[in-house]
Structure 1
Amino acid sequence: MKLVLNRTRRAAAALAGALTLALLTGCDAGALDVITGKQRAPEETIRITPEDGAKDVRTDGEVEVRLPSGRLERVEVRQIEGGRPVDIPGTVSEDGLRWTPDDGVRLELAAKYSVDVVALDARARRTARHTTFTTYVPEKRFIGYLKPENRSTVGTGMIVSFSFNRAVEDRAAVERAIRVTAVPPVEVVGHWFGGKRLDFRPRAYWKPGTKVTVDMRLRDVEATPGVYGIQQKKISFTVGRSQSSRVDASEHTMEVRRDGKPVATVPITAGAPKTTTYNGKMVVTEMYDVTRMNGATVGFGGEYDIKDVPHAMRLTTSGTFLHGNYWAPADTFGAANVSHGCVGLRDEQGGSPDAPAGWFFDRTLVGDVVEVVNSKDRQVAPDNGLGGWNLGWKEWKEGSALR
């Protein structure tokens, strides 16, 4: 079926709460440039306090974004994975080099925060950084960080996922204290991936229009001897229209289906023979208009570092994306697999709504399923991103502590 492009764009990135430009690398400030091997110039460094991945941050502790030179273009500090995202108000200094929270602003106890920064360096080149940190959880207490966001609209493949700050020993007690219900009704079952992650899903994809409620009654629940929960709240989300996509790595195509009917077949490029793409069902968990992709963060050393990848949609925690590609020749798409494991759609530098990548991005929700077939790789692990749909219903239920 011929792909028909539409110029009308919606703010798809807002569905994931993402910035227009986000940095998805694990490079530390002052690290080596993965292409040249030279030390990065200090003016390229975005310095964020607390450091990325910091835990037990004090609620009155310092939060700061600083540049040695250049100008801060955008700073967003947000409480995430607590049900409802909350923005932290702040101010950029007159010289454009420092951001701090407004007077009187305090962080919440036992909360997770993201920091997203877009800046111009001394040479007017745009750069960005994304970090997260968590605040102090009182001793002998535990908390669960939750996806998706409260009041969000998601795709039919969305899985409710909890990650806990401490390992849970009494999994039955914790799972029993979390109720996931749907209207219209459907059986929803939990599945543990180790002691710190609990996912919930129905037997099959949610029906469009379903209203889902997650009731957390974790307060005073004993997860481990002497360690008790502190959460008591409800969040809800709505399932949007049905859309799923099937990537055939051998045919170099992606078929997009709405409500079970084919909408378009799009030419793609998948993983090259030495860097193949996972097979299996993957769920879109994050969306970025533009992002940076650095091979050093996913085990590819200095093979690539692209600072402006357009229309990027995360499929796995380990780094698989479906994204726009402007650097490969146009005749690559539909004919050859050349990526480092991602799925690429033709695009233009800066991202075009008229290109296949822009067309698909504008019609995608967090929670949509992308299935890859006929790749010469193994099936994606069920705990890599929201890969739980790769388990059969019997196997999924066996992972519940209540069975």
Structure 2
Amino acid sequence: MTVRISTRRRGAAVALGLVAVLALGACSSEPTVSASGTGGGGPTSSPAPSAQPAKLTVTPAGGAQDVAPGEPVGVQVADGTIMSVTLTNPDGKQVQGQTSPDKKSWSTTEQLGYGKTYTWSGQAQGSDGKNVAIGGAFTTVKPKRQLSASLNVGDGQTYGIAMPIALTFPSRVTDKASVEKALSVETTPKTEGAWAWMPGDASVHWRPKEYFKPNTQVKVNAKIYGVKIGDGVYGKQDVSASFAIGRSQIVKGNTTQHTMQVIRDGQQIADYPVSYGLDSDPGRVTHSGVHVVMSKHATYSMSNPRYNYTDVNVPWAVRISNNGEFIHGLAASVWAQGKKNISHGCLNLSPARAKEYFDGALTGDPVEITGSTQTLSAKDGDYSDWTYDWASWQKLSALAR
């Protein structure tokens, strides 16, 4: 007997079959395949990087000659790690150094000598598991001459808010950029400042953009050993100093009013009558501009053959420039102080007032003078730093050229 299935029941059976297939698909762990034949929707993993041999950069490289001892000395590795590094001097002694925590670099921690041959040895291992040898030798330069330099600041000292830092060489520096790269100044709080080369190219100064904030801590490092200073001339030794900036004290003097105010931490603490340099003589007039206290002397002998005086001793002398300008006591000019300018460029006070000012002055205090016919310039001494505006000062850096 033939059994017939109605169209309705056949459709229902097909539907049940589709449900079963879908149910199986939902529970199956097999990936679905798109019409294009690729897996659909899931994340794809990138292929693992292929193993590479270690790539070494050795500085100085083997065979290098006339290497400046102040240049960087070390080993860097890519696609691998450092297993060992030894740098040996001609006497067979190992140069001290250290490997970075990630074992990607090694650098010396002691200075190299002049005119010596150093030999590399060691190994680095690449990501391919194979070792690559570190080797070769280089020779440091034998200088024609070595120069030392001196700082104008000392450890543990306290200076005024306008104090410049000066590094001075005994002769002209021709490789100024090389020297300047070896210099650093650290301040707390952070203070914006810049190095500038003074006329003559034997001295480089650092000054802040504006006066230091009171109580700033300063550390200067001049790592000039092994640094090229000129043709065949190299640095002899490093110099450094750590010092502090004290309270804020600014002297404001006016030559036309014959007065000198002392402003400490924003408050006026003195207003002295003064006799400034004779206005009618350009050789005697006190210069307008920002001077800086350079030194203090309980007694100072002054001479000026041009104006026919020699070995005149004055009390409580505070030097404010190298062109002969001081703040000092002079009993002989008390009659003119506060009334008339008769000095040879100095600020004359009575001996008692000069002593009072002397006792509170710090090297590095600014002395701002206005009113005269002559302006302080770079020709007037070693501490002419504040005669430059900030933009002009920055242009005096060898690294700005």
* TM-score, normalisation: structure 2: 0.61
Cα shift readout 1:267-326 (whole Å, capped 9, x = no counterpart)? 000001212111101101110001100112xxx252x23442000011111221111111
Question: What is the aligned counterpart of 2:258 among 252, 255, 261?
Answer: 252
Matching residue of 1:294: 303
Matching residue of 1:212: 218
Q: Does 1:149 align with 2:154?
A: yes
The whole-number CA distance in structure 2 between the counterparts of 1:378 and 1:366 is 22
**1:4-403 counterparts in 2 under 5 A?**
140-193=145-198, 194-272=200-278, 273-274=280-281, 275-296=284-305, 300-302=306-308, 304-328=309-333, 330-347=334-351, 355-381=352-378, 384-403=381-400
Cα shift readout 1:340-363 (whole Å, capped 9, x = no counterpart)? 11111111xxxxxxx111110011
Whether the 8 Å contact between 2:153 and 2:241 is mirrored in structure 1 is no
**Structure 2 residues without counterparts, runs of 5 or longer:** 1-142
The whole-number CA distance in structure 2 between the counterparts of 1:398 and 1:382 is 18
Look up the equivalent residue of 1:225 and give its one-letter code.
D
Q: Secondary structure at the match of 2:355?
A: helix
Question: Displacement, 1:394?
Answer: 0.8
The whole-number CA distance in structure 2 between the counterparts of 1:195 and 1:172 is 11
Change (3 A) 1:383 1:160: farther
The whole-number CA distance in structure 2 between the counterparts of 1:207 and 1:310 is 31
Q: Secondary structure at the match of 1:357?
A: helix
Whether the 8 Å contact between 1:382 and 1:391 is mirrored in structure 2 is no
The whole-number CA distance in structure 2 between the counterparts of 1:213 and 1:386 is 20
Q: Secondary structure at the match of 1:332?
A: coil
Look up the equivalent residue of 2:390 and give its one-letter code.
W
The whole-number CA distance in structure 1 between the counterparts of 2:222 and 2:330 is 41
Look up the equivalent residue of 1:358 and give its one-letter code.
K
More deviation, 163-172/356-365: 163-172
Matching residue of 1:71: none
Whether the 8 Å contact between 2:292 and 2:320 is mirrored in structure 1 is yes
Question: Displacement, 1:206?
Answer: 0.7
The whole-number CA distance in structure 1 between the counterparts of 2:379 and 2:264 is 24
Question: Displacement, 1:180?
Answer: 1.3
Look up the equivalent residue of 1:245 and give its one-letter code.
V
Matching residue of 2:44: none
More deviation, 386-395/372-381: 372-381
**Structure 1 residues without counterparts, runs of 5 or longer:** 1-137, 348-354
Q: Which has the higher helix share?
A: 2
Look up the equivalent residue of 1:263 and give its one-letter code.
I
Whether the 8 Å contact between 2:225 and 2:237 is mirrored in structure 1 is yes
The whole-number CA distance in structure 1 between the counterparts of 2:331 and 2:384 is 28
Q: Secondary structure at the match of 1:402?
A: helix
The whole-number CA distance in structure 1 between the counterparts of 2:235 and 2:380 is 24
Change (3 A) 1:142 1:195: same
Whether the 8 Å contact between 2:149 and 2:239 is mirrored in structure 1 is no
* TM-score, normalisation: structure 1: 0.61
The whole-number CA distance in structure 1 between the counterparts of 2:297 and 2:246 is 20
Q: Secondary structure at the match of 1:269?
A: coil
Whether the 8 Å contact between 1:279 and 1:380 is mirrored in structure 2 is no
Report % sequence identity. Answer: 34
Whether the 8 Å contact between 2:252 and 2:367 is mirrored in structure 1 is yes
Q: Over aligned residues, Cα RMSD in angstroms?
A: 1.5
Change (3 A) 1:285 1:139: farther
Matching residue of 1:131: none
The whole-number CA distance in structure 2 between the counterparts of 1:311 and 1:196 is 31
The structure having more radius of gyration, on CA atoms, is 2
Whether the 8 Å contact between 1:281 and 1:390 is mirrored in structure 2 is yes
Q: Secondary structure at the match of 1:386?
A: coil
The whole-number CA distance in structure 1 between the counterparts of 2:325 and 2:154 is 22
Change (3 A) 1:383 1:401: farther
Question: Displacement, 1:382?
Answer: 6.7
Change (3 A) 1:151 1:141: same
Give the number of equivalent residue pairs. Answer: 254
Change (3 A) 1:337 1:383: closer
